[in-house]
Amino acid sequence: MRKTLTGTCHCGAVRFETDIDLSAGTVKCNCGMCTKSRMWSVIVPPDNFRLVSGDDALTDYQPDGSHHLFCKHCGVRSFAWGDSPALGGKFYAVRVSALDDIDIDELANAPIRYFDGRNDRYDRAPLETRQL
């Protein structure tokens, strides 16, 4: 069931709302950026994401064509966005760790889908996922 959840960076300068169905699954990827930042996210379409405040506090890092946004005050990466045909076009990757009102039991029971981003294979899981 889709719920509207709120999220923030650590200092609260960046605030957003998103409509998420955790039972549809979460995502972990093995690309360099996701591995180093321990990204665990939920992919949502643009219509399900709303930046409430903090656009002026965001810094955009684009090592791989996606926009890895982070707060210039506290450094927290609350979400990223990109455009990928494999993911249905433009998408937001909302970090579950930035969600303020998430139900821990619901998150723990959410399925995890793995992407082999290290090899640009977003249609399959990497051979090893234990470290993700």
What are the structural domains of the chain? 3-118 (2.170.150.70)
Residue-level pLDDT at 107: 93
Helix, strand or coil, per DSSP, at residue 2: coil
Strand partners, 113: 27
Rounded to 5 degrees, what are φ and ψ at 71? Answer: -75, 130
Residue-level pLDDT at 1: 87
pLDDT digits (tens, 9 = 90+) for 92-124: 999 999 999 899 999 999 999 999 989 988 889
Q: Residue holding tokens 């709303």?
A: 50
